[in-house]
Chains A and B, each alone.
Chain A
Amino acid sequence: MGASEYSVVAEGLRKRYGDKVALDGLDLAVRRGTVLGLLGPNGAGKTTSVRILSTLLRADGGRAEVAGVDVRAEPARVRRRIGLTGQNAAVDEILNARQNLRMFGRLFHLDHATAARRAEELLEQFSLSEAADQQVKGFSGGMRRRLDLAASMILAPQVLFLDEPTTGLDPRGRSEVWNAVRSLAAGGTTVLLTTHYLDEADQLSDRIALIDQGRNITEDTPAGLKRAVGGDRLEVVLSDPVDLPQTVKTMARVTRGVGPERDEEALRVHTPVADGVAALTAVVRELEERGIAVVDIGLRRPTLDEVFLRLTGGERAPAGSEADATTAPPHGDRTAPAQETTAPLDEETIR
């Protein structure tokens, strides 16, 4: 392992399937004990990266080291230092939770006694003790995933790979899995997780690597990434065009920002905000006091689509929608510069 402070290092990974390029020189580095969120749309190369790093797939080119061991040269040693939770909860449906963990423990080459002891610890750790004797077939999605995570943690691996760990889960299952991942990360496990939810990457990661078409787009902290894409926006839709100027003024005052943008046809006013909830509350109160009728008001987070548009499209369109750029007449007071002067976001409020 040497003195490396990185638990996962990948340089110039390449992989193609037939004439389809999956990875086109991807670089990754995950600092020991941190969580890296690998974020990208479907087909970006997320799963391919995880499969290569977890020894399931051979790269066509490039180099990767996991827990200080070369993935291509010594896959067997890598396998003893990693845990993998793939897109499906890969647990045995017919066995019960305890039997699953004992079986996997044996297959991780623990002796019977150690496998049994480890199973009990993990059942406890992942809050599955009460369901230990139930057939997995009857488990909820969240429980299945937690069992899946527990099975990945049998050797308390240095590195844990999670490939879209919450896809297909209901909100409750999702939060169960998030909590489990957080507690693992808190315990010092290095985690590389893939997701196509901006929200999930934001919730769990120390850093987010954005990839598309098998290439790195950017890498940053969640806060930094949000800053780059403009963060939250407060949006108000009015019922009467007469209220437009008043609303713009109110919002500018509350957010202490530069002139909010307006879409006169849609009767919409929107502006970037640092502390979304506080701004929302304040604007609602003020508009109410002035008797301005509001059809809709809310906070808009940038979607993954918008992040990509912003970071890959080259064109730094204002954070509203594409409609603004095409339908609104060009007014000098509310174009690009507004973005540049947006107050820096307070990291604490975002995390």
Chain B
Amino acid sequence: MSTTVPGQQHRPPLDFDDTGPERRLYWAVTDCLTIVRRELTHLVRQPSMIAWQLGFPIVSVLLFVYVFGSAMDVGDGADYKSFAMPGLFAMTMAFGFMNTAMAVVIEKERGITDRFRSMPMAPSAVVAGRGVSDVIQASFDLLVMAVIALVIGWRSDGGPWATLGAFGLLLLLRFALIWIGVFLGLITPNQEVAGNLFAVAFPFGMVSSVFTPPSMMPDWLGAIAMWNPVSSTANAIRDLFGNPLPTGDSWIEQNALLMAVVWPLVITAVFVPLAVRRYQGLGR
């Protein structure tokens, strides 16, 4: 052990002012960026993470488009590939909340959340940083998925703006689900339990219009699937991409575009306060 004596050597200024309103905003943004930078470093350092997270959607592409695809008839003589790909985009976003929840659990278990909370950093930065970096990561996921889709022959027939809008709606869904992820991560005691979240994610992603039109399901299941936020996003982007969209006459299906905006806003409005309260609850 070296013989240097802490506290007597260079001591950073202790009482510099980071408390004024302007300074506080500055540091809230700076802290958030520091966290984002950390998360992005993680991505760069372990690209296998992305492979893991995209594993299920990619297997689904193979399974549904090629294995089941030939036997799938979604009506109107529509090409199943063009129907399923937007659904898979939406499903990839839907499953994203598990990544968020898992990351939150790991940080909590390793004591990093506590370390952050014991530091003078802006409390909002931890959650905001997670939100921003998760959206960045989701963009990357979508990019990979879109390239795969293009390779296997999926096309957007919508204009560039409609196409961008569709990807925007996908990220909006992912953004909303971050808060569910943070909330679930905070109420989940450990990683083992968090692994079980897949049991929640699976029906949430699948009982929807992702692979089959709800109108072809038994009535009761179809109703659930139609009202699933994932369906609204999937149908809205099919519309924007100009992909086949065999929908029924129900209000929810006729207003997919509207609901693809409303659902994420509702989810955000409900789960941000829940997540914030849970986070503060760590101190009770």
**Quick check: B114 and A109 within 8 Å, CB to CB?**
no
Distance from B133 Cβ to chain A, minimum over Cβ atoms (Å): 13
Quick check: which of A76-84, A256-264, A343-351 contacts chain B, the rest being far away?
A76-84
Residues of A participating in the B interface, judged by any CB pair closer than 8 Å: 51, 54-58, 76, 79-82, 84, 86-95, 99, 103-104, 106-110, 114, 117-118, 121, 124-127, 135, 151, 153-156, 179-180, 182-184, 186-189
Cα–Cα, bound, A182→B30 (Å): 35
Q: Which 6 A-B pairs have the closest CB atoms?
A: A90-B111, A88-B111, A187-B5, A90-B115, A84-B118, A187-B6
Is B2 part of the binding interface, using a Cβ–Cβ cutoff of 8 Å? yes
**Quick check: B7 and A103 within 8 Å, CB to CB?**
no
Known contacts A76-B19, A125-B4, A156-B11; A109/B121 CB under 8 A: yes
State which residues 66-124 of B face A: CB under 8 Å.
109-112, 114-121
How many residues of chain B get a CB closer than 8 Å to chain A's CBs? Answer: 43
CB-CB under 8 A from A107, the residues of chain B are 31, 34, 116, 119, 121, 125
**Quick check: A187 and B1 within 8 Å, CB to CB?**
no
CB-CB under 8 A from A121, the residues of chain B are 4, 9-10
Is B196 part of the binding interface, using a Cβ–Cβ cutoff of 8 Å? no
Distance from A169 Cβ to chain B, minimum over Cβ atoms (Å): 15
Is B20 part of the binding interface, using a Cβ–Cβ cutoff of 8 Å? no
CB-CB under 8 A from A108, the residues of chain B are 12, 119-121
**Quick check: A80 and B14 within 8 Å, CB to CB?**
yes
CB-CB under 8 A from A188, the residues of chain B are 5-8
Query: Smallest CB-CB separation from A55: which chain B residue?
Result: B118
Contact of B38 among A88, A103, A110 (CB under 8 A): A103
Is B27 part of the binding interface, using a Cβ–Cβ cutoff of 8 Å? yes
**Quick check: A106 and B117 within 8 Å, CB to CB?**
no
Quick check: which of B41-49, B185-193, B219-227, B268-276 contacts chain A, the rest being far away?
B41-49
Distance from A168 Cβ to chain B, minimum over Cβ atoms (Å): 12
Number of A-B contacts (CB under 8 A): 125
**Quick check: A94 and B45 within 8 Å, CB to CB?**
yes
Contact of B117 among A56, A104, A155, A187 (CB under 8 A): A56
CB-CB under 8 A from B18, the residues of chain A are 109
Is B161 part of the binding interface, using a Cβ–Cβ cutoff of 8 Å? no
Residues of B participating in the A interface, judged by any CB pair closer than 8 Å: 1-12, 14-16, 18-19, 27, 30-31, 34, 37-38, 41-42, 45-46, 109-112, 114-121, 125, 282-284
CB-CB under 8 A from A125, the residues of chain B are 2, 4, 6
Contact of B115 among A81, A86, A109 (CB under 8 A): A86
Q: Can you sample 24 A-B contacts with CB below 8 Å?
A: A79-B119, A80-B14, A80-B15, A81-B14, A84-B115, A88-B109, A89-B110, A90-B112, A90-B114, A94-B46, A95-B42, A103-B34, A106-B31, A106-B34, A108-B120, A114-B12, A121-B4, A124-B2, A156-B7, A179-B1, A182-B1, A183-B2, A184-B6, A189-B6
CB-CB under 8 A from A99, the residues of chain B are 41
Distance from A58 Cβ to chain B, minimum over Cβ atoms (Å): 5
CB-CB under 8 A from B111, the residues of chain A are 86-90
**Quick check: B118 and A109 within 8 Å, CB to CB?**
no
Main SS of chain A's interface residues? Answer: loop
Contact of B110 among A76, A90, A151 (CB under 8 A): A90
Cα–Cα, bound, A103→B32 (Å): 12
**Quick check: A118 and B12 within 8 Å, CB to CB?**
yes
CB-CB under 8 A from B6, the residues of chain A are 125, 153, 156, 183-184, 187-189
- Beyond A153-B6, A183-B3, 15 extra complex contacts between A and B, CB < 8 Å: A55-B118, A56-B118, A84-B118, A86-B111, A88-B111, A92-B112, A93-B110, A103-B34, A121-B4, A125-B2, A155-B12, A155-B14, A182-B1, A183-B2, A188-B5
Distance from B275 Cβ to chain A, minimum over Cβ atoms (Å): 18
CB-CB under 8 A from A86, the residues of chain B are 111, 114-115
Cα–Cα, bound, A316→B31 (Å): 56
CB-CB under 8 A from A51, the residues of chain B are 114
Known contacts A121-B9, A127-B1, A156-B11; A109/B16 CB under 8 A: yes
**Quick check: B38 and A95 within 8 Å, CB to CB?**
yes
Cα–Cα, bound, A137→B150 (Å): 38
**Quick check: B9 and A79 within 8 Å, CB to CB?**
no
**Quick check: B5 and A186 within 8 Å, CB to CB?**
yes
Query: Smallest CB-CB separation from A88: which chain B residue?
Result: B111
Cα–Cα, bound, A108→B13 (Å): 11
**Quick check: B12 and A56 within 8 Å, CB to CB?**
no
Cα–Cα, bound, A56→B10 (Å): 28
CB-CB under 8 A from B5, the residues of chain A are 183, 186-188
CB-CB under 8 A from A127, the residues of chain B are 1-2
Query: Smallest CB-CB separation from A33: which chain B residue?
Result: B7
CB-CB under 8 A from A56, the residues of chain B are 114, 117-118, 282-283
Cα–Cα, bound, A12→B11 (Å): 34
Cα–Cα, bound, A117→B7 (Å): 15
CB-CB under 8 A from B7, the residues of chain A are 156, 187-189
Cα–Cα, bound, A126→B4 (Å): 10
**Quick check: A80 and B120 within 8 Å, CB to CB?**
yes
Known contacts A87-B111, A110-B12; A57/B120 CB under 8 A: no
Cα–Cα, bound, A18→B155 (Å): 57
CB-CB under 8 A from B11, the residues of chain A are 156
Cα–Cα, bound, A213→B258 (Å): 57
Known contacts A92-B38, A109-B18, A155-B12; A183/B1 CB under 8 A: yes
Known contacts A58-B283, A107-B34, A125-B4; A84/B114 CB under 8 A: yes
CB-CB under 8 A from A135, the residues of chain B are 45
**Quick check: A94 and B41 within 8 Å, CB to CB?**
yes
Contact of B27 among A58, A92, A93, A109 (CB under 8 A): A109
**Quick check: A76 and B118 within 8 Å, CB to CB?**
no
Known contacts A125-B2, A180-B1; A58/B284 CB under 8 A: yes
Cα–Cα, bound, A229→B19 (Å): 50
